[in-house]
Amino acid sequence: MKFYKELCNYYDVIFPTSKPTVNFLSKNLKENSKILDIACGTGGYSIALAKLNNKVDGIDLSDSMIKLAQKKESDVSFKSLDMLKIDEEYENNNYDLIYCVGNSLVHLPTLKDVENAISKSADLLKPGGEFVVQIINYDRIINNKIKGLPTIERTDENVTLIRDYLIKDDMVFFNTELITPENKSFKNSVPLLPLKKNIIEDFLKDKFHNIVFYGGFNEVLWNEDSFATIVRAVKN
């Protein structure tokens, strides 16, 4: 789609790699850990973790994102791949950390798909390996009928991303508008699963323990008013 092709050009400007996120992801890693970054985008976090002497694989459904990631100088193995097919590409009991950040998991079409993605990630992890997911706090979105997220404005680059929500039936429609430095507007609407904390916990509890929910990458604990829902869990 034209919107996503255009978004790729500004992805690193709009979503720069965050040091608190890198610190959160790497907190319990030993040197030379094996990591899988699911929905890696243009590879910012994959590359940051690889620089900490880890072996990283990064996958994304978008060919455009992966091509941009591959152009960056790094030792990361980037591949265009559906997160529901990771079991076809990678070996079980192989990774020390698997993570999926950036509100990516809720782009899957059904709750069953989310459950499958979590289950397949568990299979790929070594016993004691960690699984990390970050999404928007949909408990807050639904309960308070939130109509949007703060607009992202990068004034130095003259790029703006407007983000609105429309709650309808059992879905949340994420309506975005990208305004480029040339003042061109690109709009998009995508349905998202309003994935609540208790559902994620139900999907995790059979294969994971030490399941802890946070409201931010600063490790503040989750509550219903948290902006984000972040979970760290340890494979049984």
Task: Indicate the number of domains in the chain.
Answer: 2
| pTM, full prediction | 0.96
Torsion angles phi and psi, residue 198, rounded to 5: -65, -30
pLDDT of residue 1: 64
Q: Which domain holds residue 111?
A: 2-136+194-235
11-33: burial string, b at 16+ Cβ within 10 Å, e else: bbeebeeeeebbebbbeebeeeb
Whether residue 188 is found in the same domain as residue 106: no
Block residue for tokens 């995790």: 204
Whether residue 54 is found in the same domain as residue 166: no
Whether residue 160 is found in the same domain as residue 231: no
Nearby residues of 207 by Cβ (< 8 Å), 6 or more positions away: 118, 119, 122, 235, 236
Whether residue 153 is found in the same domain as residue 183: yes
- For residues 151 and 113, the answer to whether their CB atoms sit within 8 Å is no
Whether residue 66 is found in the same domain as residue 108: yes
Whether residue 118 is found in the same domain as residue 223: yes
pLDDT of residue 170: 80
Whether residue 183 is found in the same domain as residue 212: no
Which CATH number goes with the domain that contains 42? 3.40.50.150
Cα separation, 205 vs 203, whole angstroms: 6
User: Which pair of structure tokens corresponds to residue 111?
Assistant: 């709750």
pLDDT, averaged in runs of 10, over the chain (236 residues): 87 97 97 97 97 98 95 96 98 97 97 98 98 98 94 97 91 95 96 97 97 98 98 98
Whether residue 46 is found in the same domain as residue 106: yes
